[in-house]
Amino acid sequence: MANPTVKLLIVDDHPLFRQGVRWALSQEPGFQIVGEAANGEEALRWLAQVEPNLEPNVMLIDLNLPRMSGLELTRQVRRQYAGIAVVMLSMHESDEAAFNALRAGAAAYRSKDIKPAALADIIRRVARGEYVINDMLMEEPRIASRILSQFRNLPEVQIPDDTLGLQIFTPLSEREIEVLERIAAGNSNKEIADALGISAQTVKNHISSILRKLSLNDRTQAVIFALRRGWIETPQQIQPGEPEN
């Protein structure tokens, strides 16, 4: 069976670079360039108005965009459009940029001197839900050490926002976080469904999605995983069956 088409939105302030990406990916099977934008504001406007059949599943974003940084755009995209994966490109790879790209929610980070075939492979992988940025983390121990240190101490230490206002990224949607919080409070699937105004089957679907995203086997493991990373509040703060504010 043929691979599904990757629908790509390119965000870069250099027209020549956008044209080069178009040409390079035209040589690869399974790609559709659905749009271009020169800056973050233009990209968000484009996403808000795009026809459903042209909605991208991957965005290629330049780190150094004018007016709104690539990091800020990535953060907004990941918050508003959970189904879109982000590949971030920069003129130069650096520990700090890779770390911030991960925090903002990028699934991959590479320099712009990447070979076209390698870029095509990365885009395909993130379209399948992979986080290719992990490849770099394995090669850059300083980045890995910094991230592991912060994640390990998240329950005890509040990580201050930097000047960009970035938050630690979670691959879970807001609804999935809500479901996890209810599980942590001891709610049954029916209680969760009643509290959130959804069906019990939808709750089961959310739990399956959570376990798949986190590569875990059961809901207890998912709750512990999320609590340790500060993604959900402690169980005492949400009572079984308590309605949302």
Q: Which residues contact 21 (CB under 8 A, 6 or more apart)?
A: 10, 12, 33, 60, 119
Q: What pLDDT sits at residue 167?
A: 44
The predicted-structure confidence for 156-192, as pLDDT tens digits, reads as follows 333 334 433 334 556 788 888 889 888 887 788 899 9
Contact in structure between 38 and 12 (CB atoms under 8 Å): yes
- In tens, the pLDDT along 11-65 reads 999 999 999 999 999 888 999 999 999 999 999 999 999 999 999 999 999 999 9
Tell me the pLDDT band of 5, cut-offs 50, 70 and 90.
confident
pLDDT of 201 higher than 70: yes
What is the C-alpha to C-alpha distance for residues 53 and 18, in angstroms, rounded to an integer?
22
pLDDT tens digits for range 113-164: 999 999 999 999 889 877 776 555 444 555 545 554 444 344 333 333 443 3
In angstroms, rounded to a whole number, what is the distance separating the alpha carbons of residues 129 and 109?
A: 15
pLDDT the model gives residue 156:
34
- pTM (two decimals): 0.60
Domains defined along the chain, listed by start: 6-152 (3.40.50.2300), 174-237 (1.10.10.10)
